[in-house]
Amino acid sequence: MLHPVIMMLVIIAGAILLTYAVRSGEFERKDGLVIPGTYREIPKESDLAALVTAAPPKSTATHAYPASAVTLFSAIPAGMIRAAPLIFMVMFIGGMFGVLRKSGALDAGIDRLLALTRGNVYWMTPLLMIVICAGSSFLGLISEYLVIIPMVVLLAQRLGLSALFATALVAISAKLGYLSSVTNPLAVAIAQPIVGVPVFSGLWLRLVIFVVYLGLGIAYLLWYVRKTGFSPPREIDHAKKLSPRHLAILLVLLASIAGLVLGTRSWGWHSSELAAYYIFLALVIAVLSGLPSRESAEAFIDGMKGMILGALLIGLASSVEIILRDSLVLDTVIHDLASWVEGRSAIVVAQGMVLIEVVLDVLIPSTSGKAVISMPILGPIGTLAGVTGQTTVLAFLFGNGLTNMITPTSGMLLAYLATGGVAYGQWIRFIMPLVGVLFVLSMIIMAIAVVIGY
């Protein structure tokens, strides 16, 4: 596999070429939502000579321009600026964990957990995955889980397991939670009203999907553990107790997770506020640990250094969408994809919607962004074919959830992998069999949903 940075540069170059291969056009919008039937093609200068233009002009409502070779470089800082809140949040998470690790509290807590559970990974894994998946599916938690990946990595090291196992435990759970989205306010609550479906209705089938898919995810990860020849560690100190300082720090860390949920759900926190929150936690941990100020600062900086690659990849991934939006080709993609399924049988339309969302997820990693551009178009097409709005939303969830487990343009996936220290190529080799099984099962469920009139 190519180095992740080189791979992202190749993807950005591919996006530039796509601006020449795909027509430009746009839909009219009202309150940010696409208005169906309003797509119009916009004339575009498609001469390859534009590729070497030093100062490419910007597209307008009357004339579009493809990206130039200069865009390969100019889009990178633009992507970094656009993704800056997420980038700094990820780096400050690293800094906070640098201080936490320096305090010794995390290592002591992991040792105590292993003593209490006797290192039995076969029941620890399902328990952790159920909690994480429920948080994503019912509450929409996703970026909040970055904070626990280093803890699970350390736990895996104590058990003699790899960082891949630790990252997969969190990533599979979180992504399957978004795929099922039983009451996810960031997916279901946005998509359902657009197609005229009551918010959180149709919950029963999504709950079944939550149970079945999570069961498959747990089984897959435990199969991986068994395949690696895992055996519980023999040297576990059952008598070791936590010091008062370590106990206080771990209690603060536990309370901070509740603070994350409250801040994001009730106070509308986003990446900028969360970044500030992690700085505050680092200061609290440093004070409780009694670390000298110089050591605390150095530990924070060392922790941030470990996140530099992930931060860069997040910015590069954001550059892809900027290139396609600036050349006005994203609306053309959704228009052409929707035209492909229009007029076909209900089952074909329903399954085709999943494939459309899969393609869009590569180009538009944002869940809400895909909803506002695809739901207004796919909803009427589904209605004409006999596909209910509820099933259309299900197709959106399947396409969004499946691709987000593998697409290199997902900033959050890259952040997960960077935080866990897992290479993208290693992740793809590990996760693709599970994604393949889930994809086939999703297509079957879509057919069933059409038949039963879900």
The 10s digit of each residue's pLDDT in 396-409 is 999 989 998 998 88
Amino acid at site 27: F
Give yes or no: residues 171 and 236 share one domain: yes
| Cα–Cα dist 357/352, whole Å | 9
Give yes or no: residues 155 and 214 share one domain: yes
Domain finish residue from 247, 274, 306? 306
Give yes or no: residues 13 and 96 share one domain: no
Does the pLDDT of residue 50 top 80, yes or no? no
Does the pLDDT of residue 113 top 80, yes or no? no
pLDDT, average across residues 168-196: 90
pLDDT band at 358 (very low <50, low <70, confident <90, very high): very high
Give yes or no: residues 227 and 290 share one domain: yes
Give yes or no: residues 37 and 93 share one domain: no
Domain finish residue from 249, 272, 306? 306
Q: In the chain, how many domains are there?
A: 2
| Cα–Cα dist 142/139, whole Å | 9
Give yes or no: residues 124 and 252 share one domain: yes
Give yes or no: residues 412 and 433 share one domain: yes
Domain finish residue from 253, 272, 306? 306
Beta bridge partners of 41: 25
The verdict on pTM exceeding 0.75 is yes
Q: pLDDT of 221-273, one tens digit each?
A: 999 999 887 776 666 655 567 788 888 988 888 888 778 778 876 787 878 88
Give yes or no: residues 148 and 241 share one domain: yes
Residue 394 belongs to domain spanning = 4-78+311-452
Give yes or no: residues 278 and 368 share one domain: no
Q: Which pLDDT belongs to residue 221?
A: 96
Number of neighbouring beta carbons within 10 Å of residue 193: 15
